[in-house]
């Protein structure tokens, strides 16, 4: 019997990474994409990577907005990115505030493991992309091949303040460099 080959994935943070960081964003009309995101994600998708969003949305746990608000934002993101041929496998959201028990709040690797188990993903060939240390750590904790820090969102400030302590994170300007780095590292392409 043949088994399906496991697929690699790009796990990505939402705020400050896929869309501009806005304080407790919770309305679709507030969504503003980084221009590099769609073309880069399309290239990665075409190369065989599944795309999985992993986001901490503590505004729900803090009572600022609801899970339904988050769902509406994610439906909007799906619709907009689909116009550019980008499809996300799933959005994983941790709704808890930092002081509340949470199964998947980053830096927990739990949602990456859930995605691996649900969609038969190969974490050892996958990458995490985000603008905070917790994003990189979620990737490292899960056992991905590499974690990228983008200089968008909080990334540039983090690079200034923490510098070399971000190793072995791969620090890049944005999505174009992420896609170039990953696709150039794949042999025979
Ligand atoms: Mg972020």
pLDDT at 165: 86
Model confidence pLDDT, tens digit, residues 121-132: 999 999 999 999
- pLDDT band (50, 70, 90) for residue 189: very low
For ligand 1, the distance from its centroid to the CA atom of residue 125, given in whole angstroms, is 22
Structure tokens, 164:
């070399």
Residue 71 a catalytic site member: no
For ligand 1, the distance from its centroid to the CA atom of residue 101, given in whole angstroms, is 20
Structure tokens, 16:
């400050």
pLDDT at 45: 98
Q: Is the pTM of this model over 0.85?
A: yes
- pLDDT band (50, 70, 90) for residue 5: confident
For ligand 1, the distance from its centroid to the CA atom of residue 122, given in whole angstroms, is 24
Q: Which domains does the chain have, with CATH numbers?
A: 30-184 (3.40.50.1000)
- pLDDT band (50, 70, 90) for residue 1: low
Catalytic residue among 13, 69, 131, 135: 13
pLDDT of 4 over the 90 cut: no
Model confidence pLDDT, tens digit, residues 47-68: 999 999 999 999 999 999 999 9
Residue 122 a catalytic site member: no
Over residues 107-122, mean pLDDT: 98
């Amino acid at each position: 019997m043949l088994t399906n080959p496991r697929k690699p994935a790009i796990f990505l943070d939402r705020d400050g990474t896929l869309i501009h960081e806005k304080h407790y964003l919770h309305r679709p009309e507030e969504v503003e994409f980084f221009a590099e995101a769609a073309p880069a994600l399309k290239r990665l998708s075409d190369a065989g990577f599944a795309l999985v969003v992993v986001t901490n949305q503590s505004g729900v746990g803090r009572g600022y907005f609801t899970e339904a608000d988050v769902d509406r934002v994610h439906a909007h993101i799906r619709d907009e990115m689909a116009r550019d041929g980008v499809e996300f496998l799933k959005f994983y959201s941790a709704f808890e505030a930092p002081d509340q028990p949470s199964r998947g709040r980053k830096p927990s690797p739990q949602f990456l493991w859930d995605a691996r188990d649900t969609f038969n993903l190969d974490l050892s060939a996958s990458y995490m992309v985000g603008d905070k240390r917790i994003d990189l750590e979620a990737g490292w904790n899960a056992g991905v091949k590499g974690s990228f820090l983008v200089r968008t969102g909080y990334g540039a400030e983090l690079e200034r303040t923490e510098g070399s302590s971000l190793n072995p994170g791969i620090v890049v300007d944005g999505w174009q460099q992420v896609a170039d780095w990953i696709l150039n590292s794949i042999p025979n392409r």
